[in-house]
């Protein structure tokens, strides 16, 4: 009887495993060893890494490592409490002031992670009588944040500002306490970009609150690499240091008033231990380096354009990508997994992206370029792709 009860209690787990196996969606973790900015060791094999979000190659930069060690020696290994208790070490003010100046905003606030920021910032702003207008291809963290706000959410067609304007007109006089537009700047799965000027114009025209997740643009685009939002009048910008910043953590770029509001109302800041000093040391170093990395950004964008053009010439579809994120659209999950496995067998790591991360029928492999990749690396990927297709 005990065994039967135990089986019944956990039967939903077996059912979920069966479902994911049947749909090729069962994931697993595996150990990796980073060797440098673009090579990785898996099971004793060195592979060329095209999966990483380390767009500027800063994750192993000596200055980030040195600054991390410096902060550990000065402050210790942990922040010991939340920022509102005793974890708000003086380096936070140093980093946030530096970031605000670079982002051309009044104020900045560092949070623990991009996912945590998105799922706690949006509910802190919206109440039950709010309306959130969300881009169709927003990251899962933004979708979850909108759901946690427990208000009405309407999805507008991806990057379709005419549809967004239509929804704004339809809902302007419906008594919502406040209306939010929520979007990414660079979309993580498709590698295309939002129209910042058009979004700002609509937000002003309808007097609504604009939130932009600048995670994949920070370090890569904009004035001094400070993102596609830099220089635009956007109510709240959310970004991360775990991509081109080469470290970890998230930030808000906003007005001083909104910063104070978040300190008092954002659960993701209030109820979590502050980031350890080593992480803030790396962030501080990255903010010193990124503004002067125009040459690396130029290389990154040139290589991305070269890769896209080469793939198009050979008949591969990359969707609407215009950034360092380049999906190769495959369709079926099984085919995407097969191609990813083939690439890995040939020493190249490019993961398959499949439902539920992307819609059914749009499985893909997704390349994330780094400024450290060379044309030879890119040509090698193209050659291996062509061999796979010729063997099909």
Q: What phi and psi values does residue 173 have, to the nearest 5 degrees?
A: -115, 30
Q: Identify the active-site residue in 188, 321, 340, 363.
A: 188
Whether the bond into 36 is cis, omega within 30 of 0: no
Closest CA to 192 of 211, 217, 167: 217
Q: Is 53 a catalytic residue?
A: yes
**How far separated are the first and last CA of the chain, in Å rounded?**
52
Tally of CA atoms within 13 A in the half-sphere of 295 that contains its CB? 3
**Token pair of 322 as six digits:** 């215009």
| 96 catalytic per annotation | no
Q: Is 158 a catalytic residue?
A: no
User: Catalytic pick from 61, 103, 139, 377?
Assistant: 139
- Residue among 135, 184, 192, 214 flagged as catalytic: 184
From the candidates 53, 113, 118, 363, give the one annotated as an active-site residue: 53
Distance, CA of 30 to CA of 185 (rounded, Å): 31
Q: Answer yes or no: 90 catalytic.
A: no
Distance from C-alpha of 81 to C-alpha of 373, rounded to nearest angstrom: 40
Active-site residue flag, 188: yes
Tell me which of 96, 192, 213, 284 is the catalytic residue.
Answer: 213
Interatomic CA distance for residues 300 and 372, integer angstroms: 8
**Known catalytic residue at 43:** no
Query: Active-site residue among 243, 303, 368, 377?
Result: 243
Longest dimension (CA), the chain: 68
Catalytic-residue membership of 303: no
Active-site residue, selected from the candidate residues 61, 216, 373, 377: 216
238 contacts: CB under 8 Å, gap ≥ 6 = 114, 117, 118, 121, 211, 212, 213, 214, 215, 250, 251, 252
Residues designated as active site: 53, 139, 184, 188, 213, 216, 243
């Amino acid at each position: 009887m005990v065994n039967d009860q135990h089986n019944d209690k956990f039967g939903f787990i077996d059912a979920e495993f069966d479902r994911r196996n049947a749909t090729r969606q069962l994931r697993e973790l595996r150990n990796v060893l980073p060797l440098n900015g673009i090579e990785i060791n898996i099971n004793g094999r060195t592979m060329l890494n095209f999966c990483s979000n380390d767009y500027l190659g800063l994750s192993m930069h000596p200055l980030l490592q040195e600054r991390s060690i410096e902060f550990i020696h000065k402050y210790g290994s942990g922040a010991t409490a939340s920022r509102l208790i005793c974890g708000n070490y003086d380096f936070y003010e140093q980093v946030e002031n530096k970031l605000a100046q670079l982002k051309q905003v009044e104020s900045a606030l560092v949070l623990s992670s991009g996912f945590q920021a998105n799922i706690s910032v949006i509910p802190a702003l919206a109440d039950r009588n709010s309306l959130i207008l969300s881009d169709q291809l927003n990251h899962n963290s933004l979708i979850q944040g909108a759901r946690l706000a427990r208000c009405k959410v309407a999805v507008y067609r991806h990057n379709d500002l005419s549809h967004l304007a239509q929804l704004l007109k339809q809902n302007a006089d419906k008594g919502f306490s406040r209306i939010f537009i929520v979007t990414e700047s660079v979309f993580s799965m498709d590698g295309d970009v939002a129209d910042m000027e058009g979004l700002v114009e609509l937000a002003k025209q309808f007097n609504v609150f604009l939130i932009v997740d600048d995670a994949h643009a920070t370090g890569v685009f904009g004035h001094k690499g400070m993102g596609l939002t830099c220089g635009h009048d956007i109510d709240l910008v959310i970004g991360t240091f775990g991509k081109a910043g080469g470290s970890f953590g998230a930030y808000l770029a906003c007005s001083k008033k909104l910063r104070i509001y978040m300190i008092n109302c954002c659960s993701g800041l209030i109820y979590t231990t502050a980031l350890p000093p080593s992480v803030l040391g790396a962030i501080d170093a990255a903010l010193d380096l990124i503004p002067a990395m125009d040459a690396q950004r130029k290389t990154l964008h040139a290589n991305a354009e070269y890769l896209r053009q080469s793939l198009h010439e050979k008949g591969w579809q990359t969707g609407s990508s215009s950034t360092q994120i380049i999906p190769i659209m495959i369709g079926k999950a099984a085919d995407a997994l097969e191609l990813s496995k083939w690439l890995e067998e040939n020493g190249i790591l490019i993961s398959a992206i499949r439902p539920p991360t992307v819609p059914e029928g749009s499985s893909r492999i997704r390349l994330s370029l780094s400024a450290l990749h060379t044309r030879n690396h890119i040509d090698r990927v193209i050659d291996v792709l062509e061999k796979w297709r010729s063997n099909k």
